[in-house]
Amino acid sequence: MRKRLFLLMLTAMIAVSCAKGPSGLRTDLMLDTSQPGGALIRSSLPSFSWIVPGSEELQLAYQIALSDNSRVIWNSGWIESGQSVSVMYDGEPLKPSSDYSWKVRVKTDGQGRSSWSKSKRFTTAPSIREYETAWYPLVQERQKAVSLGPVVDFGRDAFGWLELTLRAAADGVATVYVGERMEGGRVWRRPEGSNSSVRYARIDVPVSKGIHVYPIYFAPDRRNTGPSAVKLPEEVGVVMPFRYCEVSGAEVVDARRIAVSYPFDAAAASFESSSDTLNRIWDLCHYSVKATSFAGIFVDGDRERIPYEYDALIAQLCHYASDSEYSLVRRTMEFLLGQPTWPTEWILYEVLLAWNDYMFTADPRAIAAHWDILRAHGLEDLVQENGFVSTTLGQSEAFLKSINRSEPIRDIVDWPHTGTLGLQAGQGGEDDGYVYTDYNTVVNALYYKVLCTLGKMAAVLGDDSLAAAYDAKASAFRKAFNETFFDPSRGVYVDGIGTGHASLHGNMMPVYCGLVDDGDLPSVAEFIKSRGLRCSIFGAQVLMDAVYAAGLDDYGLSLLTSGDLRSWYNTIRTGSTITIEAWDDSFKPNQDWNHIAGAAPGNIIPFRLMGVTPLEPGFSKVRIEPRIGSLSYARMKLPTVRGTIAMDIESSADGKSMTVTIPANMEAEVRLPGGDVLQAGPGTHKFSY
């Protein structure tokens, strides 16, 4: 009897101690570190992340062992902690050009001690520093055409080059027309003298009699390969965005597009709802993330191939909503710290980029490494005696040097302005008639949000006194801002000191930045509704965030699904399969058809309409606040570094029911439209409201 009891106890102990090990191991947040083809690790003190096993488990402790392939060189021992994302290596600095492997095991509240994970191998780069962002090589994907008729169609636009199999009746020359757009059943040919940036190319190809394979190479574009443009690796060569191909002088037997992009897991995220329009818009934005990643840094499109901070912010949020991959945006963010652009607000947005990076990854190293220049991006040097930011009253050389610029910055509000980029003097720009003064509401509202963010960053870095100083400064500024820029008689914000004009931008930005007092929010929200989409397609990112922050759920859904000229659906109607740079050519005649800044719904749908956002860094705790309005159902998968969050919401005559699956080692705060706030741990939960 005792022997049997002992065996039962031993069996139970073995079961507990040999529970399945962690999976999804990442080194410096990189999933693929296999060589060749994977990411080289560039930090001598990297971070480690993993997915906790089980479906309803919370981690209590972990142990990591790192080897140099001959011996264990670091063993963390058991660390009592729930942290499973961006756990920092605490051994001797790693060596360059060296192979390593690591494994982890955990203790959880449900299964006890797990077995060791499979080992994760990685190789360090030839040159490494204490901290440097790792990145993947670009991927070249051979894609088959979906149609080989008179016009070859690849189904979607993509950056790449072309390979054709042609049948020629005799030796001669075939003419190949390649482009993004169709018109009259043919590849659109750019008219002589047109300033359109929709891509088109004509290539004459010598052909031989019979069937042969011909690589079709594109000539470099002088503008987007100039000194300021992001260069592609030599092994990639010259690429352009195209969907269609047409050939005269030979018959197309086969066609392959070699499409270039950053590695992207297209199946990581999904969305479906009762609105076909909303589904198509989500799909457009989701695909645009992959398609516009061709340079290894998010750029503004094919016209310039230059990154811009606000474009990068939209790209960042859309990428986070599409794939649990963070290096592409971090690399873009750090590139821009060294080569910032000219708009005042764009400089401020760099701070928000860094904070988003931390909230989604729980890795503070980018903030720590760039802390001084991030503080300079807060523009405190441009604060005048009245306490407000102005760019028109002088910018010292020392200030410009602190943000790595040689030329002064200037306020943008939105783009383009009247009379620029093909817009004539009589054509309205995209800033809703904003009246610019020395002290602009938009810039100062964003300055407040950045003050608050810098305070949170200081706390992350352990400087509590500086954090408190930022908080106090932000609190005082908030009071002064509302006393100065808010017109209580009309219940709206004016555009700046010295003007009574009120615009969409001057009101959506204070809401976005959390400046509006509760009692004033209804009148500001009504004013925002009255202005419609009188902003650019990329300015609409702030508008949509503000709309949901103001509680205008039904209005937000109506904007997302609108079929007007100013709508995301109009992108689909134009024929583009990547988000574009403007609502229509009439608003920006030289617009690109491949601009990630037009993809705001790609993050607004998951983060605002479905309402999933990280409450704590690295998604250790998530907020779920569904706001689907009149949709009869909506379903979503959202990838995170801890695993995938799944949501399924159904409407009926009795109300709505929501099923949510929270990954292991993640907790949730669920805020229901009726006002209930509920707490949920990992696992599947059902809610009614």
Summarize pLDDT for 210-233 with one digit per residue, the tens.
Answer: 999 999 999 999 999 999 999 999
295 with 160, same domain: the answer is no
Choosing from 609, 643, 663, the residue where a domain stops is 609
Q: What average pLDDT does range 424-437 have in this prediction?
A: 84
* Domain-embedded: residue 134: no
- CA nearest neighbour of 288 among 556, 37, 571: 571
Q: Between 282 and 427, where is the model more confident?
A: 282
Flag whether pLDDT at 1 surpasses 70.
Answer: no
Token pair recorded at residue 644: 């995938």
251 with 218, same domain: the answer is yes
Residue 81: which CATH number?
A: 2.60.40.10
pLDDT at 427: 64
CA 468/CA 463 separation, integer angstroms: 9
DSSP string, 547-575: HHHTT-HHHHHHHHT--SSSSHHHHHHHT
Residue 457 and residue 355 in contact, taking contact as beta carbons nearer than 8 Å = yes
Residues, the chain: 689
451 with 586, same domain: the answer is yes
CB atoms within 10 A of CB 573: 12
Report the domain count for the chain. Answer: 4
> What type of residue sits at position 281?
I
pLDDT at 424: 55
Helices and strands (DSSP H and E) totals, the chain: 16, 31
> What type of residue sits at position 253?
V
Residue that has been written with the tokens 């042609």 in this structure: 166
Percent of residues, the chain, with pLDDT higher than 70: 96
433 with 581, same domain: the answer is yes
Token pair recorded at residue 551: 């509680």
Cα(first)–Cα(last) distance of the chain, in Å?
55
CA 623/CA 311 separation, integer angstroms: 26
- CA nearest neighbour of 53 among 138, 123, 113: 113
* Domain-embedded: residue 614: no
* Domain-embedded: residue 109: yes
Q: SS3 of 194, please?
A: coil
Percent of residues, the chain, with pLDDT higher than 90: 92
Average pLDDT, the chain: 95
36 with 100, same domain: the answer is yes
469 with 505, same domain: the answer is yes
- CA nearest neighbour of 135 among 340, 352, 330, 299: 330
Token pair recorded at residue 649: 């919401």
Summarised one tens digit per residue, pLDDT across range 242-295 is 999 999 999 999 999 999 999 999 999 999 999 999 999 999 999 999 999 999
Phi/psi for 139 (5° steps) reads -105, 135
pLDDT at 418: 84
Residue that has been written with the tokens 């945006």 in this structure: 329
> What type of residue sits at position 270?
S
254 with 320, same domain: the answer is no
Query: Cis bond leading into 233, ω under 30°?
Result: no
pLDDT band at 12 (very low <50, low <70, confident <90, very high): very low
Residues 6+ apart with CB under 8 A from 230: 295, 296, 297, 299, 305, 306, 307, 335
> What type of residue sits at position 22?
P
pLDDT band at 423 (very low <50, low <70, confident <90, very high): low
Distances (CA, A) of 604 to 58, 318, 601: 29, 8, 5
CA 357/CA 332 separation, integer angstroms: 11
183 with 81, same domain: the answer is no
Flag whether pLDDT at 355 surpasses 60.
Answer: yes
* Domain-embedded: residue 519: yes
* Domain-embedded: residue 379: yes
CB atoms within 10 A of CB 336: 25
**How far does CA 386 lie from the centroid of its chain?**
36
Choosing from 201, 233, 261, the residue where a domain stops is 261
Global pTM value:
0.95
Flag whether pLDDT at 19 surpasses 60.
Answer: yes
Residue 191: which CATH number?
A: 2.60.120.260
pLDDT at 557: 98
476 with 498, same domain: the answer is yes
Summarised one tens digit per residue, pLDDT across range 295-307 is 999 999 999 999 9
Using the Cα atoms of residue 432, residue 421, residue 443 and residue 368 in order, give the sign of their dihedral: positive
554 with 638, same domain: the answer is no
Residue 123 and residue 99 in contact, taking contact as beta carbons nearer than 8 Å = yes
Q: What average pLDDT does range 560-584 have in this prediction?
A: 97
- CA nearest neighbour of 19 among 55, 65, 64, 47: 55
91 with 193, same domain: the answer is no
Residues 6+ apart with CB under 8 A from 100: 66, 67, 68, 69, 94, 121, 122, 123, 124
Residues 6+ apart with CB under 8 A from 504: 432, 528, 531, 532, 534, 535, 543
C-alpha torsion angle, residues 472, 473, 477, 478 (rounded to 10): -40
Residue 13 and residue 97 in contact, taking contact as beta carbons nearer than 8 Å = no
Choosing from 577, 609, 641, the residue where a domain stops is 609
* Domain-embedded: residue 500: yes
328 with 409, same domain: the answer is yes
- CA nearest neighbour of 283 among 17, 562, 636, 19: 636
Flag whether pLDDT at 195 surpasses 90.
Answer: no
Summarised one tens digit per residue, pLDDT across range 307-321 is 999 999 999 999 999
CA 563/CA 571 separation, integer angstroms: 10
Token pair recorded at residue 659: 């099923």
DSSP state of 257: E
Flag whether pLDDT at 124 surpasses 60.
Answer: yes
pLDDT at 154: 98
Weakest-pLDDT range from 424-438, 455-469, 603-617, 652-666: 424-438
Distances (CA, A) of 603 to 205, 269, 583, 611: 43, 11, 18, 10
Residue that has been written with the tokens 């040999």 in this structure: 18
Flag whether pLDDT at 477 surpasses 50.
Answer: yes
Residue 314 and residue 568 in contact, taking contact as beta carbons nearer than 8 Å = no
Summarised one tens digit per residue, pLDDT across range 20-35 is 999 999 999 999 999 9
Residue 494 and residue 502 in contact, taking contact as beta carbons nearer than 8 Å = yes
Token pair recorded at residue 269: 């995220």
Residue 276: which CATH number?
A: 1.50.10.10
pLDDT at 474: 98
CA 608/CA 628 separation, integer angstroms: 9
* Domain-embedded: residue 298: yes
Strands 59-67 and 99-108: antiparallel
C-alpha torsion angle, residues 311, 315, 318, 324 (rounded to 10): -160
Summarised one tens digit per residue, pLDDT across range 356-400 is 999 999 999 999 999 999 999 999 999 999 999 999 999 999 999
Q: What average pLDDT does range 148-164 have in this prediction?
A: 97
pLDDT band at 428 (very low <50, low <70, confident <90, very high): confident
CA 505/CA 372 separation, integer angstroms: 30
Phi/psi for 259 (5° steps) reads -90, 140
CA 12/CA 15 separation, integer angstroms: 5
* Domain-embedded: residue 615: no
Residue 265 and residue 644 in contact, taking contact as beta carbons nearer than 8 Å = no
Residue 357 and residue 329 in contact, taking contact as beta carbons nearer than 8 Å = yes
How many Cα atoms within 13 Å fall on the side-chain side of residue 53? 24
CA 634/CA 560 separation, integer angstroms: 14
**DSSP bridge pairs for 63:** 105
pLDDT at 426: 60
Give residue 530's domain range. 270-609
CA 670/CA 588 separation, integer angstroms: 42
